[in-house]
């Protein structure tokens, strides 16, 4: 797994790393419901110091050797991650 730290033009620190999950055949039923089909071969994860997260797939070849400016442009094309909130407790279990 490659890992990079790079600055955004405003000085915010971003981190990027590749994520390659196990093959779908090894997933349990629950795991299969959370990973979009297009991401089974992996994705590039971007995360800022401000806790913003983005994902890009497929993983671009050689991305870890790109300049900071090229990584920032790539980050701009990545999909923002919408954080899910925990579901409310089931009735009668609270």
- Cα first-last separation, the chain: 41
**Token couple for 93:** 């279990």
What is the domain partition of the chain in residue ranges? 3-80
Q: Are strands 43-48 and 79-80 parallel, antiparallel or unpaired?
A: unpaired
Beta-carbon contacts of 64 under 8 Å, excluding residues fewer than 6 positions away, are 2, 3, 4, 16, 18
The per-residue pLDDT for 1 is 72
Q: What is the mean pLDDT of each run of 10 residues along the chain (94 residues)?
A: 92 94 64 66 91 93 96 96 67 55
**Token couple for 86:** 């925990």
pTM given for the model:
0.75
């Amino acid at each position: 797994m490659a890992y990079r730290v790079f600055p955004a033009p405003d000085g915010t620190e971003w981190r990027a790393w590749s994520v390659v999950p196990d093959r779908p055949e090894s997933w349990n039923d629950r795991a299969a419901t959370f990973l979009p089909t297009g991401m089974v071969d992996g994705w590039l994860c971007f995360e800022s110091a401000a806790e913003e997260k983005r994902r890009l797939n497929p993983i671009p070849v050689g991305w870890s050797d790109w300049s900071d400016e090229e990584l920032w442009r790539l980050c701009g094309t990545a999909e923002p991650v919408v954080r899910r909130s925990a579901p409310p407790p089931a009735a009668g279990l609270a």
